Amino acid sequence: MPKKLGLILAAAFLIRIAYLFFSQQSPFYEPLLLDPAYYHGWAMKIAHGQWTAKDVFYGLPLYPYFLGIIYLLTAQSLLAVKIIHILLGLGNIFLIFKLGEKMGNPKVGLVAAGLAAFYGPFFFHEGILIPEALGLFLYTLGFYLWCRFWDAPSVKRGLGVGFVFGLAALTKAGVMLFLVIAVLALGLSKKKKASLLAVVFAFMMTLLPVTLHNVLVGKDWVWLTSHSGLNFYIGNNPESEGVFKSPEGVGTNVQALRDDSRAIAERDQRRPLKPSEVSRYWSRRAWEFVRNNPADFSKLSFRKIVLFFDGREISDVDDYQFAGRFNPMMRLPWPNFAWLAPLFFLGLFVSVKRLRYRSWAILWIAAYIAGITFFFVNARYRIPILGLFFPFAAVGILETIQVFSQKQWKRLLLLAGILAAAVLLTQARLVNTNWIRDYINAGDVYIEKNEFEKARGYYEEALKVDPRSARANQAMGVALTKMSRSDEAKYFFEQAIAEDPLDGVSYNNLGLWYDNHGDSRTAERYFVRAIELKPASSQAHNNLGMVYGKRGEYEKAMREFEISLGLNPDNPRVYTNIGLIHYRLGRREEARAAWRRALEINPAYADAKRALDLSEHSV
């Protein structure tokens, strides 16, 4: 390994260790919200021995299994996961060097690796529990192996390429379109057919266990995951802006996306649906939009391409710019996509005779972007293919230096024009961004940690940005309720409903307020309305059951609790409430069984433990 590359990797390692150290100050260090919480929870189940899901896979499974194995081997150490992410990042930088060397020469490789070492979005996303932390490495490795395969096709190399492509597809499916086009192109050429078949065979065999799991365990014909239809609709509907925006009546976290989208589909179809049927329901709605609005669809697709090259890090989890509030490393001017994209376009222009495998690289990038345009864009979704941007950027830099040193002023002016045009593209800013969601997310983390005053402070910041935000008003109401300031909380719940009359969560929260203040009739109306708007709300059904139980309407209460359990079978609160109903009806053994079940789910659940202890000591 060249000495200069060693220095680059050492610098990259020190940057990442420093970032990891300071990131512990951030409320987002632990995976408590959104996608990181989803993958963490899935991985923890795997680490505790639940190797198969109870249903078809909703998300791509490779990363959660990767994470679960790390937890299993490291006593569930979050620090170990983040260190392994760093090592994957260093491996990616090494692969970028090898790509640059193979596509150009060692100098191209070193410049590309040097840029990648200091590229802020890389080490930022390495600190988050998301599939892209693994996917970037696999995508870069996949293209490098493809170049080697192209040099000398063989069955052995084909099997290796197909296997890595399959793994990459199990983190982000964008590699599939490239493979289809490449196989069709090579199938018509004189390349060895056996080696090409080896690629396809290894790729399909790598995906096969996922399909078998869905068919045999999930009892449904789902090839990979059941969320593609919803994602397709999110990216293609009359309200779509090209970025993530959950449909009306659908929440934003993974569990809510799955449950609410299913509930809406089943309500419209008036029957229970399999996951594949839910996915097809949303796909049909998206295709209806595409067929009925071809001009709007074309404009939206073009918009997504422009958004892909937006210089900002448009986030759907943790925000790159917002992280600077907690981590001093993020206040430094690290190279980001606003730097990389213009350099990539510059390299694309000057690399005609300077980079080998250029056509394959362009196809790799174009196919991935084409796949993105069928769904929606955010910064982390472009991460997997960025490994290939750096050799192009390196060639652009080296060409500019050479032209300047040779005083080729006309050529330099042309390069400057290309760079300026690319900068304009990255600054198109087709969607507005602000930090309101990030303030709310930070507050939600502190709610999880029972630090309610800190949470309230972040919600106040969100309301300063937009006093009319339904979500911010709702969150402030929750914080004030937790702080025993319920009279103040009522105002914010009412504001949330005034700003978004279709927000079922706010109706549920206001119902709780009335229930806690002894007005069960008004509480019932709000819970019923919450269920009408959000039929998949396990919480609203449970709360309505509690109202009925307090009034002695035990049959109605049990029906609501059963619905709640159907939506969320692992809710200890519902089992505790069922136990109370049994106890009031004199069914002591059934009550104790329900409380024991609640404690199996959560051994620390105080209400169930208290009820069980009292029942066992009563005569």
Q: Residue 64 and residue 71: Cα distance in Å, rounded? A: 10
At 347, list the tokens: 């390299």
∠ CA 201-372-266 to the nearest 5 degrees? 90
Q: What is the mean pLDDT of residues 41-50?
A: 92
pLDDT for the residue 256: 82
- Enter the DSSP assignment of 247: P
Q: Residue 199 and residue 192: Cα distance in Å, rounded? A: 11
pLDDT for the residue 46: 94
Interacting residues of 262 by C-beta distance below 8 A, sequence separation 6+: 273, 275, 278, 536
- Assign 535 a pLDDT band (cuts: 50, 70, 90): confident
Q: Residue 123 and residue 110: Cα distance in Å, rounded? A: 19
Q: What is the mean pLDDT of residues 426-443?
A: 91
pLDDT digits (tens, 9 = 90+) for 458-491: 999 999 999 999 999 999 999 999 999 988 999 9
Picking from 260-274, 324-338, 518-532, which range would have the lowest pLDDT averaged per residue? 260-274
pLDDT digits (tens, 9 = 90+) for 16-41: 999 999 999 999 999 988 899 999 99
Given the structure tokens 């021995």, which residue do they identify? 49
pLDDT digits (tens, 9 = 90+) for 559-610: 999 999 888 888 899 999 999 999 889 898 898 899 989 888 888 888 888 8
Each domain of the chain, given as residue ranges in start order, spans: 434-487, 488-617
Given the structure tokens 């018509």, which residue do they identify? 188
Q: What is the length of the chain? A: 619
- Assign 615 a pLDDT band (cuts: 50, 70, 90): confident
- Enter the DSSP assignment of 358: H
Over the range 12-46, which residues count as b (16 or more CB within 10 Å of their CB) and which as e? bbebbeebbebbeebbbbbbbbbbbbbbbebbbbb
pLDDT digits (tens, 9 = 90+) for 90-115: 999 999 999 999 999 999 999 999 99
Asked if 318 and 437 touch (Cβ cutoff 8 Å), the reply is no
Q: Residue 228 and residue 230: Cα distance in Å, rounded? A: 6
Q: Residue 441 and residue 32: Cα distance in Å, rounded? A: 10
Q: Name the CA dihedral angle for 400, 404, 408, 411, rounded to a multiple of 10 degrees.
A: 30
pLDDT digits (tens, 9 = 90+) for 163-219: 999 999 999 999 999 999 998 888 766 667 888 999 999 999 999 999 999 999 999
At 397, list the tokens: 């830099």
- Cα 45 to Cα 38, 212, 535, 597, distances in angstroms: 11, 20, 27, 18
What's 488-617's CATH class?
A: mainly alpha
Given the structure tokens 């024009």, which residue do they identify? 417
Closest CA to 577 of 610, 542, 602: 542
Q: Residue 182 and residue 165: Cα distance in Å, rounded? A: 12
∠ CA 351-333-84 to the nearest 5 degrees? 80
- Cα 210 to Cα 41, 205, 224, 274, distances in angstroms: 19, 10, 6, 17
- Enter the DSSP assignment of 223: S
**Mean confidence (pLDDT) of the chain:** 92
Interacting residues of 14 by C-beta distance below 8 A, sequence separation 6+: none
Q: Residue 338 and residue 380: Cα distance in Å, rounded? A: 14
∠ CA 102-108-113 to the nearest 5 degrees? 95
pLDDT for the residue 315: 87
Closest CA to 274 of 283, 265, 285: 265
pLDDT for the residue 617: 64
Query: Does residue 619 carry a pLDDT above 60?
Result: no
Q: Identify the burial level of 5 via C-beta atoms within 10 angstroms of its C-beta, where 0-12 means exposed, 13-18 middle and 19 or more buried.
A: buried
Q: Identify the burial level of 380 via C-beta atoms within 10 angstroms of its C-beta, where 0-12 means exposed, 13-18 middle and 19 or more buried.
A: buried
At 590, list the tokens: 């059934």
Q: Identify the burial level of 51 via C-beta atoms within 10 angstroms of its C-beta, where 0-12 means exposed, 13-18 middle and 19 or more buried.
A: exposed
pLDDT for the residue 618: 59
Query: Does residue 514 carry a pLDDT above 90?
Result: yes
Domain 434-487 has CATH 3.90.180.10: no
∠ CA 34-40-42 to the nearest 5 degrees? 105
pLDDT digits (tens, 9 = 90+) for 331-363: 999 999 999 999 999 999 999 888 999 999 999
Q: Residue 608 and residue 614: Cα distance in Å, rounded? A: 10
Interacting residues of 169 by C-beta distance below 8 A, sequence separation 6+: 60, 175, 176, 203, 206, 207, 224
Query: Does residue 287 carry a pLDDT above 80?
Result: yes
Asked if 120 and 397 touch (Cβ cutoff 8 Å), the reply is no
pLDDT for the residue 191: 61
Let me know if the fold of 434-487 is the same as that of 488-617: yes
Q: Identify the burial level of 575 via C-beta atoms within 10 angstroms of its C-beta, where 0-12 means exposed, 13-18 middle and 19 or more buried.
A: buried
pLDDT for the residue 606: 85
More reliable by pLDDT, 408 or 613: 408
Q: Residue 37 and residue 31: Cα distance in Å, rounded? A: 5
pTM (2 d.p.): 0.91
Interacting residues of 183 by C-beta distance below 8 A, sequence separation 6+: 196, 199, 200
Query: Does residue 153 carry a pLDDT above 70?
Result: yes
